[in-house]
A and B are shown apart, each in its own frame.
Chain A
Amino acid sequence: MSIKDKVAVIGAGMTKFGDNYEMDYLDMAVEATYEAYADAGVEPGQVQAAWLSTTFPDSGGYEGQSGASLADALGLYGLPISRVVNYCASGMDAFRNACFAVVAGMYDVTLVVGVEKMRDVASRESLVAQIAEHGHPVLGKGLTAPDIFALCANRYFHATGIGRETLAQVAVKNHYHGSLNPKAHFRRPVTVEKVLSAHMIAEPLSLFDCSPVTDGAAALVVTSRAWAEAHGKDLVLVKGIGLAAGAPDTLFFDPTFDFMGFAATRQAAQDAYRQAGVTDPRAQIDFAEVHDCFTITEILNYEDLGFAPRGEGHKLIAAGVTRLDGELPVNPSGGLKSCGHPIGATGARMIYELATQLRGKAGQRQVKSPQMGLAHNLGGIGSVACVAILGL
């Protein structure tokens, strides 16, 4: 079964990502959604179903526990609205669910909104409290998100001989791209020196190897291709979308895990490539938004997505292949690193970026004549990944 060329994204919107103290959860949902409506040229009354992605409602005063929060924000009472949660892959999984409902013929016009309010709680306190107060009482106690990828980084260094300087180049690239993106959280370029001298979070990852804590919302209008074409919309097509629950929450208790990448990404990508007819990702994918929650993660993603062989992802960043002016631009938006990571919104923001780039509306950060773009969202402890391919 393939979804190829049956579903269209006709509009996308997003708030500025950052410390959005003056907007509450509902405000952000409204701003992103109405920008998407305007971009799509649709009226709210035309939306037939919606999917909401919010991963940590308790950081945001318990809004986003249910799809009903979206009805509340947008006045969409009476519509079928589901909340989708799959760790950091929630946003793209919400998109995926909308796509399948459209392909099934249930709805012509749907809405996908990712919203995350993280800055209403002091960020260090909330992150520390999350780890200290949640999770199993003793098993794996103390494992933070940076720890997960730091454990992989140390093993990756051991296997390949690279060091922190290579990771820093990922941060430099993405902060540069972010400086070209008016909606990114952080818009100032950084140097390798700055990354290396920043204080440590989870060795070998410094503050600048980590994506920030951010508020934000992104929204998409997703329709059937037939409806989009019948209404003369400026559309991009979904070529393939895969999701894989690839690992247990207890990944670090699995003796077969080799720390060098995540099966969830490989499995989701395989399914997406199959649907889209992609046999040589490095050649056929023109640009990608990948889940760079940490600098090391971007390098592992290159390998898991088939852009580079196992153990050689670091060569792409060192050679500048994945810069905006390179052969395969990765994270032209600035990625999680520079845009920030409002967790439930990130997957939707990636689709926003693909749609914007494919329709030539990316301004200073425009990739040259892209035909096909890939978005990758990874969640949990390599627990789940979603890969979506959009094209013209």
Chain B
Amino acid sequence: MIGIRDYGSYIPAMRLARAEIIRAWQQKALAQVMVGERAVANYDEDSLTMAAEAALDCLAVTDPATVDGLYFASTTAPYREKLSASLIATVAHLGPNAVTADFGNSLRAGTGALRAALDAAWAGRQVVVTAADTRVVEPGHHMEHVMGAGAAALLVGEGEEDDVLCAIEESFAFTHEFTDTWRRAGDEFLRFGDEGFSARYGYFHCVQAAIQGILQKATLSPDEITTIVCYAPEARSFTALAKRSGLDNLYTDPMLLMNVGNTGASFPLLMLAAVLDQAAPGDRILWVSYGDGSDAFLLRVTEALARRRDQEARRTVAGWVASKRTLPNYESYLKVSDLVKSRAGLWGFSPFTSIPMLWRETAQNLQLMARRCNQCGRVIYPVRRVCPQCRAKDDATPCQLRRRGTVASFTVDHVFPSPIPPTTLVVVDLDSPRSAADQGGGRILTPLTDCDPGEAEIGMPVELTLRKFHEGRGFNNYYWKARPVRGVERKT
């Protein structure tokens, strides 16, 4: 059967309370409606780093050698020309023959990528789709309350009943030329049409056509569906859709919209991940996206999903949602989102960097590949030809550093430029690889992000997260920072 073999998610730690947006802009009229919080990407995050987190979560127990491709989907890709999928595929240890592609320019990009992955699965390939968005609205626009940031990933391929979590039994496409929300190449912010008009002739029109179309195609009636997981632009859309369509099995859990916001192209995938976290074997899910039309899919949950959830502690969407840090004020949101011109941050500097240097160090930097000395067992990182401990030359085996460790020491630096100073630096003793009896897992010096100053402690557990360090020489320089452990983690 063809279906979803695994899935992952990621929601940034930072939150902005909607009450704080109301205070900043004196939007008293919104006080009743705009409650809860919205997720905000930290200053060192972007859609690529969030999609990488979700992909790594999705592939945590999958051998990368079995993954044939990676598709990245976003309306806020960091580059207009330079693939994000190839970098994420590298981080995920996919091989040089992986099929990599970026999908973009629509809220439907996530499911568009999923459809392409589905087609690839029919052709015998296993592909991971990872979608992420951090959509930017003009400060003071009421849609600032609605937008959020987040990512989700799905691994699509062929398998048996016991290793496919949910079968993808049917798909339906509906394309619709319509101008609802948009952003031209030179625009910094989203633009919106008339909301009432867009809802009626765009959103409801498309999703209803897709729901009816796929049910007809599959010769099913609505009450044979356990849950209809339908993209919603905002919280009120759930009730509006239910009322309009007469459907009573819509997924209407406000957890994501109340606490995270609309995460753009990743939103349908994130909603699906939240539903799969709770779904039971045999459940039939009708999954619908929206954006310049609608993609719809019919999914059937297998026993494998329940067995998986029972066997191991693993990250859930609810776990990411609950693991959060509320920004102290609206000004902080402006600073971390780079919406205010200032002298703060590394962006005002021109850090040394070198494309050939970073190319040489791809495995070391993006894949956390170290070497283990064959003679004395020392983990050599950064990589050196001569072992610093026993001086053996060119006699070491590649080994991958773990992305978990404990803090050996720390400091809080008040001088280094940052949008939200001070910055914390940590020395992390990485966990030992599971398999080898050796001298430990290596050590790394790196900033601690997604934390409060004064939070770092010797002995504190942390995990590594891919982040954007700076834009030296006009391109994004990515590497790993540490962050306090978030939510629930896989035991394996």
Contact = CB atoms under 8 A, between A and B. Distances in A.
Contact of A155 (B365, B381, B408, B442): B408
Interface residues of A, number: 42
Q: Is the interface of A mostly helix, strand, loop or mixed?
A: mixed
Interface in B386-432: 388-389, 408-417, 422-423, 425, 427, 429
A147 interface: yes
A117 B443 CA distance: 36
A248 B388 contact: yes
B132 to A, nearest CB: 21
A202 B414 CA distance: 6
A204 B458 CA distance: 14
Contact of A253 (B353, B443, B470): B443
Contact of A133 (B349, B381, B410, B458): B349
Contact of B443 (A150, A155, A158, A252): A252
B477 A256 contact: no
B469 A141 contact: yes
8 contacts: A134-B352, A137-B477, A138-B477, A141-B351, A143-B425, A200-B422, A252-B443, A256-B389
A329 interface: no
A192 interface: no
Nearest to A248: B388
A140 interface: yes
**Shortest beta-carbon contacts, A-B, top 8:** A138-B479, A150-B411, A252-B445, A137-B353, A132-B349, A203-B412, A255-B443, A155-B409
Contacts of B469: 137-138, 141
Interface stretch (A18-26, A123-131, A225-233): A123-131
Interface centre among A152, A155, A252 (most CB of B within 10 A): A252
B12 interface: no
Interface of A: 124, 127-129, 131-135, 137-144, 146-147, 150-155, 158, 199-205, 248, 250, 252-257, 259
B65 interface: no
Nearest to B453: A203
Nearest to A157: B458
B425 A151 contact: yes
Given A141-B479, A158-B458, A204-B411, 19 more contacts: A129-B349, A137-B472, A138-B469, A138-B478, A139-B445, A141-B351, A146-B413, A147-B425, A150-B411, A151-B410, A151-B425, A152-B409, A155-B458, A200-B422, A250-B382, A253-B443, A255-B439, A256-B389, A257-B443
Interface in B291-332: none
B443 A144 contact: no
A144 B416 contact: yes
B411 A137 contact: no
Contact of B417 (A128, A205, A253): A128
B44 to A, nearest CB: 11
A168 B458 CA distance: 23
Interface centre among A127, A132, A138, A205 (most CB of B within 10 A): A138
A146 B382 contact: no
A120 B477 CA distance: 31
B26 interface: no
A153 B469 CA distance: 26
B349 to A, nearest CB: 4
A200 B454 CA distance: 12
Contacts of B351: 132-133, 137, 141
A141 B331 CA distance: 26
Contacts of A138: 358, 365, 469, 477-479
Nearest to A127: B415
B409 A132 contact: no
Nearest to B349: A132
Given A132-B349, A142-B423, A259 B414 contact: no
Contact of A202 (B379, B415, B477): B415
Given A131-B416, A137-B357, A255-B440, A203 B352 contact: no
A148 B220 CA distance: 66
